Structure 1
Amino acid sequence: MLMAFYTKSVKQTLDDLQTTSSGLSAIESKQRLRQYGPNSIKLRTEPLWRKLLEPFLSVFMAVLVVAIGISLWHRSYFDAAIIGAIILLNALIYYVQRFSTERILRSLQKRSTVKVEVLRKGKSVTVDAVNIVPGDVIVLDEGDKIPADARIIEARSFRVDESQLTGESLPISKQVETLGADRQIYEQSNMVFQGSFVIGGEARAVVVATGNNTEFGRLSDLSATSEEVNPVERKIDALITQIVIVISLIALVTMGLALWRGIAWDEALRFVIALSVSAVPENLPIAISIILVLAMQRMARRKALVRTMGSIESIGAITTIATDKTGTLTHNKLSVQELWHPRNQRKYTLQTLADAIVPHTRHSVADPLDTAFRSFIAKNPPANVRKPIKAYQFEHALALSGALYHNGTQYILTLKGAPEQMVERCDLAEGERERATVELHHLTGLGFRVIALGHATLKKPLESLEALSPRQHITFDGFVAIADTLRTEAKSAIATAQAAGITVRMITGDHFETAYHIGRELGLVHHRSEVFDSRQMSMMSDDDLAERLKTIRVCARVLPEYKHRILEILKQRDITAMTGDGVNDIPALTNAHVGVAMGSGAQIAKDAGDIILLNNNFQSIVSAIHEGRTVYANIKRMVTYLLSTNLGEVLVSLGSLIVGLPLPLTPVQILWINIVTDSAMVIPIGMEPGEARNMKQPPKPANAPLLSTFMISRIIIMALLMAVLVLTLYALFDHWHGADYARTVAFCALATVQWAGAFEARSDYESLFRRIKKRNTPFLVGLLVAVGLQLIAIASPFAPYLHVAPVTATDFAIVTTVAFVLPIIVLELHKWFGRTFLGKRPELN
């Protein structure tokens, strides 16, 4: 636990760090560098062995490995080779995607060596920031990036941009005086923190923490949470686990039943192998992986870089978006919102505003207030544009900055600064002073930062603003209201998300009034009761906070650890996405189900995100949700299709045993259908185009099952139909032409039934005759591939390997027609029943 150096005086701080105001010696610095290590953040990265094993660590892969074992046990080397190829292909897709993502991330990262001015026993030297150690005294000037956490020991008009750490858009004034205990980061005005920028003044500070011991580094530790399986993958894993358990029990019962009926043990084992192979959805892992990779490519074209495939599944099921404000909903760029003058003389206010801009010459990082003023003046130029003869940087004691101009034999001093002090110092009539005070309260109540303007006539120039006499006559020229600029697309994107049933919450470090004003502008809140001052969190239990968050849409004054806790509570009942771009967002980004980072944000934030928006556009989040919902809907269709076909194959094998028929299909025939026919159709089913209705319905609850009762009933109906049809055809043709002929008929019928099931799987409730009008080119290609491969299996030299016998053209035509038409009739009736009696309208479901 680091000491609270902000509570210590300068002397106490220097004594505790065993240093002086003139800094360490070179020898002491080298010793401390060995003791504390380099000033760099060490992130907890995934070890290489974990990256290599990652694609194999799932229930899917376990199922496939078991399938290989069963095939090798039965010496079905061809079957084992096919399954092994599936495993390797799935791993290859994972490795290629991960490499591509990390390559893009490396290209996004801008590496540069930061130099820092340090005192070495009173002598100023320049060193690499990585070599800074606790006890070093650093010299900070306008434009510098602060290299470590430090206690200020000297300061002159010193202001810092801490938005990356606290989310506060406005610059923070810093000073030397000792503070009381229990101050939050944004209240520690005598401290500076790594990653912040100096925007005005100069200071000296003694380094108190480096590397992972800084506030910046502490956030990286907070972000190192345990890896979680995404909610959709968890549902699929649970479903597959249940299938494996059920099939294992069925296999044991089947083995016992076969032996009890007097079947030889090797024949009984063949039955069990056929049953197990039928039930295992070997092609589901590779099919889902391909669908997710294709979705990742589509999202990349829309400037959304997806780092993990599972994020696509999860974002489609998102119920809550917790979004940072600075840099996400806003540009993190201040702009002038209003000008006000007590006598409504806008031209005087505009002229003073133009004259009061302090020229920026030394560094590339300018005061954001002057940048905002400069942009406004460029669009609203005053009548007289002139150059100052002297500029005065912001004086903290006076809360003023300004510029000096020639005016004949006299001089004009233009001033801008804190409104209360300016109104107090200006010569105003009592009525004008009251009007100014009322307007000031009005503007601050709207969440604006207010700057006051004034000017004075001088007989001679001033060396500094400190030389300005308290009795100097100052004319009040009005107020300038400024605020962070909202992204133009943010409001409509939020409205789209809300229309889709997704709750959007803004989480910001801003003051309550500022947060309320921005939340109202974005359509997030309508009254103050929907805004929460997060400083109350320290006194609230998790249950109390969870209850409060139900009605809250904007959280103000949020610290990084508060974001972490808010996300923890939201995750208990929601599937959450967190958006952000700053260091302060990292714990929440890693703690959400889906972390969405901005491409222009801090590199560490991009490393923590699951999805990176390269165009920093909040609208891209909505597009990602639409893509995710499309993928989620298609995955459910894929699962429904595969479960219905696999269950049908199980019932074919089990039914033949119960009714006393020989095994209708060999294990290799079933594996052929599962891998070749099913795979050719299931992947195109997963590529059904997205529909507008996807964003016009609320997301399913986080604890909702993957498949609804209605879809489970379809699986059962399809499986029973498949079993009855195949066993009936097998029994008839076995009686007429013998076992080999009947097995080939059953093989053809089973494949054809699955093609019909694939047509019906394109939609949950919409009629096939309407759905077929919607183009899905991959589906047509997949169908042609499946039919072509099946014809090769039946009428080629390859047929003997699949135990296929010749069948007459007439029988083949009759069998395939019946096997294709009958399932379509039954499933169309099922869809009609859902639309008519259960209200399952395609446009809403």
Structure 2
Amino acid sequence: MIVCCVGSNSTIGKHLKLILQQYSDEATPLEEKLAQIGLHIGIIGTIAAAVIFTTLSIFIISDVVEAGKWDDSDTEHVFTAFIFAITILVVVIPEGLPLAVTLSLAFSMKKMKEEKIFVKHLKACETMGGCQELLIDKTGTLTKNEMKVIKALIGIEKTNIRIPEVDSKVVSILGASVARNTTADVHSVDGNIEKAGNRTECALLMFLMHWGLNYHQYRNMKTQVMQVPFNSQAKMMSTFNVENPDDAALYIKGAPERIMRRCTHMLKSDGNIVEITSADKEKVNEKLIRWSQKSLRTIAVAYKAGSVKEIGLNDNPNKDEMDKATNGMVLVAIFGIEDPVRDEAKEAIETLRKTGVTVRIITGDNPDIATRIGKNCSILADDYDYNTNNDTIILGKDFDRRTGGLIVKEQDEVISYSIGDEQEFKKMEEHLRILARCSPQDKLLLTIGMRGLERIVAVTGDGTNDAAALQRADVGIAMMTATPMAKEASDIILLDDNIQSIVTAIKWGRNIYFNIRRYLQFQLTVNAVALFLCLIGAVAVKSSPLTAVQMLWVNLMMDSLAALALATQDPDSKVLESAPYGKNEYILSPWILANIIIQSVYQVTIVLIVLFWGPDIFGCEAGWNSDWPEEETVHYTLCFNIFVMLQLFNQINCRKIRPEEYNVFSGIFDNWQFLTIIVVEFSLQIFFIYEGGDFMNTEPLDPFQFVICVFIGATTLLVTLIFKLGVIKYYESKSAGHK
């Protein structure tokens, strides 16, 4: 053995170097959206805190001017105003948002593991929810990856694959041609067949075993002097075996169209070797087309025997010499190998298409097989004709040529990729559904191109050469049967190798997005109401009806407890009916913004009514007439309690964020976490009202007053219901008008 390179310079080393690169600075689509809305909330909160502090300070200074002196109580009031402004800032800034995201991701990750989906990176959970493009490997994902020889030609003659009805010389040549030019292994363990290595090679070895041949008798590694492994460019593998200088053999196997070009003769079933004519090749091509139309993978085997000199090689040939020698070969056999489409593949792809995900198949098979698979999986119409040449199916070499290929740059040990002709790529991708006869580089090219169009891309793969595409995708998905390198580069591993699990992953991913929206709808409503209440209170009555400690309790309820409650909602039956969110889509939909505005206006109105007319309604002393906040008052306690009750019931509202979801209590008893948190929040609020005293600045309410607070809080449910009914009614009438 000659060692030509080691470590990061080797092929596997280059792949490993790529997948070990750190991409921690690359934010996911959801992180970018949350950073954007966090910035907006922070700016608004800072302005509000500054306005409140300035307003309270003006009142303090005016009192000082009127009194003509500054005493210690004035310093204390300024300090209190400053603390309150900081509290407002703490309440408004969504520090609980990362907690809500992490909780939702962890909750979903745990649930996905129960459904045979292993998530390696938390971010992959939410990114799958926005998946717009799924580049799916045919072998092992759409198909079962259980290769089996079901048709065979000896030379160009059909043979019985169950019984070797051929000359013993043919059996011996076929056994040697397959066994010596494969690296896979098939053996029995406790009565079960275990396969190791390439599945196509395993199918060929199983074929020999069914013929009663022991391939180990033919596979003599001591005589093997050179082997050129299969590669996606040559579509061929070759091996040179030398018993002695006068007894040697060169074996090749690969795509029939590549092997046939190198064959001048063929082996007949009677053991004779005859010349291949043009008519023979035409006859073989016709059979191969029929096999391809039946979705059979085809592979040809050929050999050349004689002395080392007659074969055209020496005792230690190199790769180029091997390639030159593979001319004038003898065609031994052509096999038709079946890889059945998974039973669930068609249904899963139809579901993916309905959810707005564009599915594109990537395969090394020829266009005929690709067409058949596409039709079986409902990616292509039943009447699709490849000869129409509308870019629905594109060959890898044409795809690479027309897009200008993949441009690779390496700087400071960081590899970057780009596409030669982005405009041409954009034109092609509109129609492209299957990339046939493609190489791993074509797969990477398609991945890079789709991401360049601001799409959220998921890629499936199972081979070491797929590592680059898996790494560069937004989400890399590997099968459990994938190579270790592919698993290392992936974000998600399907433990059951089931394509339906991809649908499940998207379902949980979209549910995370919905949970974050539920949380934001709740939090922003609380923010808006608290800001308006404190701002108006500061301007109108020279003090806020809510103290800093009360605001911190609201913040705890809004951030931590609400995150726990709303981030653990299970996906419902309609979660897959929504379209995937785009990278540039604002996280707050118009409907959610409308809900926030309606609830905020209603809640602010209610709390202000209690603030200004509460003393008359409830028959209590006005809070601004007392030494607030040193002295507790029933009036401001009512304001605080009603404000909290409005938020508690609005938390129930936020479980359902679609217009058509009228019943906000639907499924509430299936989520014990939510119920527990609601009970805890309600219990703590009762405790704070009756036992909070000086710490919470609360005065105990009588039972009637507390019940009224609860009733007022519950009215938020009615407001949301009326709003939903009104919106649905409006759009129904608008649709009817268009008709």
| Common topology (TM > 0.5) | yes
Task: Note the C-alpha offset of 1:646.
Answer: 1.8
* Distance (Å, rounded) in 1 between the aligned partners of 2:460 and 2:587: 26
1:574–1:702 CA contact under 8 A, matched in 2: yes
* Distance (Å, rounded) in 2 between the aligned partners of 1:619 and 1:313: 18
Q: Give the partner amino acid of 1:617.
A: N
Instruction: Please point out which of 423, 427, 431 is paired with 1:543.
Output: 423
Instruction: Name the residue aligned to 2:79.
Output: 266
* Distance (Å, rounded) in 2 between the aligned partners of 1:248 and 1:271: 12
* Distance (Å, rounded) in 2 between the aligned partners of 1:777 and 1:733: 36
Instruction: Name the residue aligned to 2:287.
Output: 439
Instruction: Name the residue aligned to 1:46.
Output: none
Instruction: Please point out which of 629, 637, 640 is paired with 1:747.
Output: 640
Distance 1:824 1:237, change over 3 A: same
Instruction: Name the residue aligned to 2:248.
Output: none
Instruction: Please point out which of 809, 812, 828 is paired with 2:706.
Output: 812
Distance 1:293 1:737, change over 3 A: same
Task: Note the C-alpha offset of 1:554.
Answer: 2.2
Q: Secondary structure at the match of 1:247?
A: helix
* 1:117-155 deviation line (CA, Å, top 9, x unaligned): xxxxxxxxxxxxxxxxxxxxx1xxxxxxxxxxxxxxxxx
1:416–1:451 CA contact under 8 A, matched in 2: no
Task: Note the C-alpha offset of 1:582.
Answer: 2.4
1:583–1:602 CA contact under 8 A, matched in 2: yes
Instruction: Name the residue aligned to 1:632.
Output: 513
Instruction: Name the residue aligned to 2:726.
Output: 833
Instruction: Please point out which of 63, 73, 94 is paired with 1:281.
Output: 94
* Distance (Å, rounded) in 1 between the aligned partners of 2:472 and 2:285: 44
Q: Secondary structure at the match of 1:294?
A: helix
1:372 aligns with 2:203: yes
Task: Note the C-alpha offset of 1:751.
Answer: 1.3
1:357–1:373 CA contact under 8 A, matched in 2: no
* Distance (Å, rounded) in 2 between the aligned partners of 1:531 and 1:228: 33
1:422–1:454 CA contact under 8 A, matched in 2: no
Task: Note the C-alpha offset of 1:225.
Answer: 5.9
Q: Give the partner amino acid of 2:203.
A: A
2:179–2:215 CA contact under 8 A, matched in 1: no
1:583–1:604 CA contact under 8 A, matched in 2: yes
* Distance (Å, rounded) in 2 between the aligned partners of 1:565 and 1:321: 14
Aligned length: 610
Task: Note the C-alpha offset of 1:363.
Answer: 8.2
Q: Give the partner amino acid of 2:400.
A: R
Task: Note the C-alpha offset of 1:805.
Answer: 1.2
Instruction: Name the residue aligned to 2:7.
Output: 211
Q: Secondary structure at the match of 2:3?
A: strand
Instruction: Please point out which of 661, 672, 682 is paired with 1:787.
Output: 682
Greater mean deviation of Cα atoms: 758-767 or 626-635: 758-767
* Distance (Å, rounded) in 2 between the aligned partners of 1:325 and 1:747: 61
Distance 1:781 1:422, change over 3 A: farther
Task: Note the C-alpha offset of 1:296.
Answer: 0.9
Distance 1:428 1:282, change over 3 A: closer
Q: Give the partner amino acid of 1:666.
A: T
1:616 aligns with 2:497: yes
* Distance (Å, rounded) in 2 between the aligned partners of 1:376 and 1:671: 73
* Distance (Å, rounded) in 2 between the aligned partners of 1:232 and 1:790: 34
1:762 aligns with 2:655: yes
Q: Give the partner amino acid of 1:550.
A: E
* 1:799-829 deviation line (CA, Å, top 9, x unaligned): 4321111111111111221222x21221111
Distance 1:652 1:482, change over 3 A: same
1:349–1:477 CA contact under 8 A, matched in 2: no
* Distance (Å, rounded) in 1 between the aligned partners of 2:364 and 2:280: 34
1:596–1:610 CA contact under 8 A, matched in 2: yes
* 1:299-357 deviation line (CA, Å, top 9, x unaligned): 11222222222221111111111233444444555322434698877479764598744
Instruction: Name the residue aligned to 1:494.
Output: 349
Distance 1:437 1:221, change over 3 A: closer
Task: Note the C-alpha offset of 1:616.
Answer: 3.0
* Distance (Å, rounded) in 1 between the aligned partners of 2:581 and 2:588: 11
1:703 aligns with 2:584: yes
Q: Secondary structure at the match of 1:662?
A: coil
Task: Note the C-alpha offset of 1:436.
Answer: 4.1
Instruction: Please point out which of 24, 28, 50 is paired with 1:252.
Output: 50
* Distance (Å, rounded) in 2 between the aligned partners of 1:566 and 1:431: 39
1:239 aligns with 2:104: no
Q: Secondary structure at the match of 1:838?
A: helix
Distance 1:496 1:431, change over 3 A: same
TM-score, normalised by the number of residues in structure 2: 0.72
Task: Note the C-alpha offset of 1:611.
Answer: 1.9
Task: Note the C-alpha offset of 1:490.
Answer: 3.4
1:505 aligns with 2:353: no
Q: Give the partner amino acid of 1:603.
A: P
Distance 1:350 1:504, change over 3 A: farther
Distance 1:272 1:368, change over 3 A: closer
* 1:392-437 deviation line (CA, Å, top 9, x unaligned): 8899999999xxxxxxxxxxxxx99756555584489998776445
* Distance (Å, rounded) in 2 between the aligned partners of 1:304 and 1:649: 42
Greater mean deviation of Cα atoms: 608-617 or 635-644: 608-617
Greater mean deviation of Cα atoms: 526-535 or 758-767: 526-535
Distance 1:624 1:422, change over 3 A: farther
* Distance (Å, rounded) in 1 between the aligned partners of 2:423 and 2:266: 46
Instruction: Name the residue aligned to 1:570.
Output: 450
Task: Note the C-alpha offset of 1:504.
Answer: 1.4
Distance 1:239 1:462, change over 3 A: closer
Distance 1:521 1:210, change over 3 A: farther
Q: Give the partner amino acid of 1:724.
A: T
Task: Note the C-alpha offset of 1:701.
Answer: 2.7
* Distance (Å, rounded) in 2 between the aligned partners of 1:720 and 1:278: 19
Q: Give the partner amino acid of 2:48.
A: I
* Distance (Å, rounded) in 2 between the aligned partners of 1:522 and 1:790: 56
Distance 1:400 1:229, change over 3 A: closer
Distance 1:766 1:454, change over 3 A: closer
Q: Give the partner amino acid of 1:745.
A: L
* Distance (Å, rounded) in 2 between the aligned partners of 1:751 and 1:524: 52
Q: Give the partner amino acid of 1:247.
A: G
1:535–1:557 CA contact under 8 A, matched in 2: no
Task: Note the C-alpha offset of 1:484.
Answer: 4.9
Instruction: Name the residue aligned to 1:8.
Output: none
Task: Note the C-alpha offset of 1:756.
Answer: 1.4
* Distance (Å, rounded) in 2 between the aligned partners of 1:531 and 1:556: 7
Mapping 1:133-212, distance limit 5 Å = 138=1, 206-212=2-8
Instruction: Name the residue aligned to 1:776.
Output: 671
1:552 aligns with 2:383: no
* Distance (Å, rounded) in 2 between the aligned partners of 1:618 and 1:773: 28
* Distance (Å, rounded) in 2 between the aligned partners of 1:767 and 1:462: 79
* Distance (Å, rounded) in 2 between the aligned partners of 1:548 and 1:357: 45
Q: Give the partner amino acid of 2:404.
A: S
Q: Give the partner amino acid of 1:208.
A: C
Instruction: Please point out which of 596, 607, 610 is paired with 1:715.
Output: 596
Q: Secondary structure at the match of 1:692?
A: coil
1:258–1:657 CA contact under 8 A, matched in 2: yes
Mapping 1:263-342, distance limit 5 Å = 265-330=78-143, 332=145, 334-339=147-152
Question: RCO higher in 1 or 2 (8 Å CA, sep ≥ 6)?
Answer: 2
Which runs of no fewer than 5 residues in structure 1 stay unpaired?
Answer: 1-137, 139-205, 402-414, 456-460, 468-474
Instruction: Name the residue aligned to 2:566.
Output: 685
Mapping 1:33-48, distance limit 5 Å = none
Q: Give the partner amino acid of 2:336.
A: A
Distance 1:795 1:477, change over 3 A: same
